[in-house]
Amino acid sequence: METSSSKMLVARMERLPVGKFHYKMLGINGAAWAFDAFDVGLVTFVVTALTKSWGLTAAQVGLFLSVGLFGMFFGAVVSGPVADRWGRKAVFQITMLFFAVFSLLCAIAPNFLSLVIFRFFVGVGLGGETPVVTSLLGEFIPASKRGKLQGLLNTFWAVGWLASAVISYFIIPAAGWRWAFVAGALPAFYIFIVRRHLPESPRWLISKGRNQEAAKIVESIEQKLTSEGLELPKVNLKEVKIDTVEKKQKVNVALLFSNKYIKRTIMLWGLWFLAMFGYYGLFSWLPSLFVKAGHTMVKSFLYVLIMQIAYVPNQVLSAYLMDKIGRKKLLVTNLILAGIAAIVYGWTLGHGVNTGVVVLLGVITSFFVSAIMGITYTYTPELYPTTVRATGVGSASACSRIGSMLAPMVIGAGLTSVGISGVFAIVSGAFILAGILVAVLGIETKGLVLKD
């Protein structure tokens, strides 16, 4: 009876039309996503100003860029299993609070050592949030619309990055880098909205045998949708396999390495490591690379701001295409194209080509790289069942943090040995290798019902 009840609840969620409730969930999760992106983007601009005002060495710049990423690694490793054991909502709130408090402390850091320590704990909050946001939103969305809404979630990342570029361009030169960190701490106010309006995932509740609580949430969603005038289709139990719902499932990390999931895990770990190595290798040093190429700090901020504009349209386009042509094919295509674009872009930046051409190629590179991020965050939680979904996403995210930690240091060292063109060739290789890995080991998830 319990399994049948679980199956019915999942089927009821899968037949739901997308309405205001889903877009509200998108907005709540997306706002957190935007704040995360804002902070990640902000650091790339702050480090340029810090280098000038505090006289940082290349080694200190690499440490500053990497320490927050190490915190993200720690947060991702811890929060995934915790979210699978104790629920998505509680972890979401805690990580947001952690992020906000330590962002404020960064703004008042008296010296480089304290700033590095505070950045680590900001990273813990950011890294802890990633598995929760991607898992939580996907667990509320029917399979037929999941690609679109998960893709739209990543437009918030694009908006956050763009906002960091805008604020850095106007605030840092005029008021200094500390005020930029104050702007990054605004999520503290957002915590209260999350507490009031964010329900727990019914799928997670079902996986814990808490079907009555899940049923109340599903019923509440149904009532909200029908009050909008939306019609609820008939429940189709055939869409939900009997083995996808079980009573009081326990978190079993070993499942990630079982015969069924081992290839997916290897593929995802490699994808996240390589993609984020390429992403952070490209963007963490970008304002500084423009300065190294002879541009002023203000102009370098402006050029990066222009490049970030490409984020938004491609996230919207990817959100549409994921449910049309599938995740795997779209991801592989963008990884390969990003690799090609990056090496061409690096050559022009390193050889003094006309600034307009350099910025245009930067926009093209940013276009493809932004798509990689959006598709990856949609694709990953679809590959695991509810009991280990956040753990799976968290482990993949942890691998990404290793890549993103190494990238700034590798690029920093590479600048002195192989130059700008050489480090962009390294970034290009990471993207192309990731594309090959997904092509060989990846599976298509378009239209698949999430396993519970």
Give pLDDT tens digits along the chain (452 positions): 444 478 888 888 888 898 999 998 888 888 878 887 888 788 878 888 888 889 888 778 878 877 888 888 888 888 878 888 888 888 888 888 888 899 899 999 999 999 999 999 999 988 888 778 877 888 888 877 777 787 788 788 878 888 888 888 888 888 888 988 888 787 667 766 776 778 888 988 988 889 899 999 999 999 999 999 998 888 877 666 544 444 455 556 788 888 889 999 999 999 999 999 998 888 777 777 777 777 777 787 788 778 877 777 777 788 788 888 889 999 999 999 999 999 998 888 777 778 888 888 888 998 898 889 888 988 998 898 877 888 888 889 889 888 988 887 788 788 888 888 888 999 999 999 999 999 999 999 887 766 65
Total-model pTM: 0.72
Alpha carbon distances (Å) from 217 to 25, 199, 214, 426: 13, 7, 5, 48
Please state, in angstroms and rounded to a whole number, the distance separating the CA atoms of residues 154 and 130. Answer: 12
Please state, in angstroms and rounded to a whole number, the distance separating the CA atoms of residues 244 and 9. Answer: 12
Place of tokens 């399979």: 143
3-state helix, strand, coil in the chain (%, to 5): 85, 0, 15
Q: In this structure, what token pair is assigned to residue 127?
A: 């890294």
CB 34 within 8 A of CB 156: yes
Q: Which helix (H) or strand (E) holds 87?
A: none
The domain containing residue 125 runs over which residues? Answer: 2-241+248-441
452 in any annotated domain? no
449 in any annotated domain? no
448 in any annotated domain? no
447 in any annotated domain? no
Angular region, 213: left φ>0, alpha ψ -120 to 50, beta rest: alpha
Q: How many CB atoms lie within 10 A of CB 59?
A: 11
Quote the distance between the C-alpha of residue 123 and its chain's center: 13
Please state, in angstroms and rounded to a whole number, the distance separating the CA atoms of residues 370 and 337. Answer: 12
Q: What is the CATH number of the domain that holds 178?
A: 1.20.1250.20
Domain count, the chain: 1
413 CB-contact burial (10 Å; exposed 0-12 / middle 13-18 / buried 19+): middle
451 in any annotated domain? no
